[in-house]
A and B are shown apart, each in its own frame.
Chain A
């Protein structure tokens, strides 16, 4: 296909983004392959919010109170779906720890399409921990498709169940302070995480630990004993280095009053 033909097929304004996506995909796949083949992968920085999860669940086990998990209010098909998938990835880890410590896990669901996936994740976690018989189908509870209907259900549940640990990881909107303050009211240790910029400040202000932006997406890979997953974080970091280089080059270009990079990224 000619150069003009390629340009006609690619949507205007997305050519640079598509190129970056291709390069990033190759770098991530390359790093995954190196990690899979036993090659050396870098050491990753600690994520305090994720390292606090066993402490939170252990605390719940000692107090004989449940752990509540909120995977956000986004679905599986919208532009914020990645946050829900990240939350479900961490849910697998939380489920295994709850099974290991014999602690009750309650997962609240707003989006009906997330319900069967969350049920599978929790059931698999109990199976992986060798405690399939302890899995309760009532662990994963569908509340309401309405944002504030869901909030009222969760607030009531926090008040009645009095969880020792409350984990809210995923996409949240204006309702996030409600969960945080209700869980604080019953003395729950809270671990929050979101990539929704407008809610991060509430999580930082109210939760004991917070996963900010990319930490939420890396969390599932970070806790898994899986080199391929760790390789994907390494590949993602290469993308971050490229982004930093582009910012530096762009800043110098802007200082020199040149707009070639602006034109390039808007192609």
Chain B
């Protein structure tokens, strides 16, 4: 059996077993499924090494081959330097040590929060573009979004009691109907995709083998 066929057989076995464990409860299926999921976690940890190597190759190559602008190379050097420091401290002192926690809380957490906070501005600019009533669809979006936003804020009720009621109607009837339609369609689509993979119709992820 060639590598590609073997990988497909493993995929079929794992997919069917773990899939069945969602509906059928027998000791053998439960134990095999739980074991396979544990192996998945282990494989995920190995994959992290591949990610590390990918980053070292790309950023190390950029510095060594002098690709990109000087600024790009500085960013790559900072990335590789921080990666090395965090790895060494984590391995030497452990991830619960004060030193590792200092790196985590002083660099990672604030940077994480900063990027998260930017979303507010991105949403505002996306809303500005979306709410320009270029056609009837955009006009409907503008009107409904205005009603829902006012209906959800205290000022909406001060303007008129009809606003919260209209908001509740929009959210519970047309919005809920559309959401359920999307959920049903997506669920059916994911089953069809799963079958394409399990039946070997979609195999591009298996490589050349």
A interface residues, Cβ below 8 angstroms from B: 9-11, 14, 17-18, 21, 24-25, 28-29, 32, 75, 77, 82-83, 85-86, 88-89, 92, 109, 112-113, 115-117, 120-121, 123-125, 127, 137-138, 140-142, 145-149, 151-152, 155-156, 160, 174-175, 177-178, 180-182, 184, 195, 197, 200, 202, 204-206, 212-218, 220-221, 226, 228-229, 232-233, 235-236, 239-240, 243
Interface members, chain B 147-205 (any A CB < 8 Å): 179, 182-186, 188-197, 199, 201-202, 204-205
Determine the chain B residues whose CB is within 8 A of the CB of A85 once the complex forms.
193-194, 197, 202, 205
Scoring B37, B50, B179, B191 by chain A CB atoms within 10 A of each residue's CB, the highest score goes to B191
Q: Which residues of A contact B130 (CB under 8 A)?
A: 204-206
Task: Give the nearest-CB partner of A22 in chain B.
Answer: B23
Report the minimum CB–CB distance from B136 to chain A (whole Å).
15
The one of B25, B68, B112, B193 that contacts A89, using a Cβ cutoff of 8 Å: B193
Q: Is the CB of A113 within 8 A of B183?
A: no
- Residue pair B123, A202 in contact (C-beta under 8 Å): yes
Nearest residue (CB) in B for A226 is B201
Contact status of A146 and B112, CB under 8 A, knowing A140-B54, A178-B122:
yes
- Count residues of B near A (Cβ-Cβ below 8 Å): 62
Chain A residue nearest in CB terms to B68:
A160
Q: Beyond A29-B195, A77-B37, A149-B112, is A177–B122 a contact (Cβ under 8 Å)?
A: yes
Binary interface profile of B, 62-88, with partner A (CB < 8 Å = 1, else 0)?
000000100010010000000000000
User: Can you list 11 contacts pairing A with B, beta carbon distance less than 8 Å?
Assistant: A29-B195, A85-B202, A112-B47, A115-B54, A124-B208, A140-B54, A177-B126, A205-B130, A214-B185, A217-B193, A240-B188
Q: Specify which of A174, A175, A181 is in contact with B125 (CB 8 Å cutoff).
A: A181
A49 CB → nearest B CB, Å? 14
A205 x B195 contact (CB < 8 A): no
Are B50 and A17 in contact (CB-based, < 8 A)?
no
Q: Are A212 and B182 in contact (CB under 8 A)?
A: yes
Residues A138 and B44 in contact in the complex (CB < 8 Å), given A11-B24, A180-B126, A214-B188: no
| Contact (Cβ within 8 A) A25 B191 | yes
CB distance from A186 to the nearest CB of B (A): 14
Inter-subunit contact B189/A112 (CB<8 Å): no
**Residue picked from A109, A200, A205, most chain B C-beta under 10 Å:** A205
Q: Which residues of A contact B47 (CB under 8 A)?
A: 112-113, 115-116
**Contact flag A152-B26 (CB < 8 Å), given A115-B50, A206-B126, A240-B184:** no
Interface string of B111-125 (1 = CB under 8 A from A): 111011011001101
B188 contacts A120, CB within 8 Å? no
Knowing A89-B202, A115-B50, A240-B185, the reply to whether A175 touches B119 (Cβ < 8 A) is yes
What 11 additional pairs, Cβ within 8 angstroms, besides A11-B25, A180-B126?
Answer: A29-B195, A115-B50, A123-B207, A125-B204, A142-B50, A142-B52, A148-B112, A177-B123, A205-B126, A232-B196, A236-B192
A232 to B208, CA, bound (A): 24
Query: How many angstroms from the CA of A17 to the CA of B24 in the assembled complex?
Result: 11
B119 and A29 form a contact (CB under 8 A) = no
Q: What separation, in Å, do the CA atoms of A18 and B112 have in the docked complex?
A: 41
Given that A138-B61, A148-B116, A205-B130 are known contacts, is A195 also in contact with B189, CB under 8 Å in the complex? Answer: yes
The answer to the question of B206 belonging to the interface, with a C-beta cut-off of 8 Å to chain A, is: yes
When distances are taken between beta carbons in the complex, the residues of chain A under 8 Å from B55 are 141-142
Closest 8 A-B residue pairs measured CB to CB?
Answer: A217-B189, A214-B185, A205-B130, A82-B190, A112-B51, A214-B189, A142-B51, A195-B186
Q: Contact check: which of A14, A32, A112 meets B50 at CB < 8 Å?
A: A112
Q: Contacts A113-B47, A151-B115, A205-B127; is A217 near B192 (CB within 8 Å)?
A: yes
Query: If A115-B50, A221-B196, A239-B191 touch, does A232 touch B115 (CB 8 Å cutoff)?
Result: no
Q: Which residue of B lies closest to A155 (CB)?
A: B115
Q: How far is the CB of A168 from chain B (nearest CB, A)?
A: 13
For residue A175, which residues in chain B have a CB less than 8 angstroms away from its CB? Answer: 119
Please give me the residue from chain B that is nearest to A137 by CB atom.
Answer: B57
Cα distance A142–B201 in the bound complex, in angstroms = 28
**Which residues of B are found within 8 Å of A141, using beta-carbon distances?**
54-55, 58
Minimal beta-carbon separation of B66 from chain A (angstroms): 15
Given the interface pairs A174-B119, A197-B179, the reply to whether A14 lies near B189 with Cβ below 8 Å is no
Given the known inter-chain contacts A88-B204, A117-B205, please indicate yes or no for A28 contacting B186, CB distance below 8 A. Answer: no
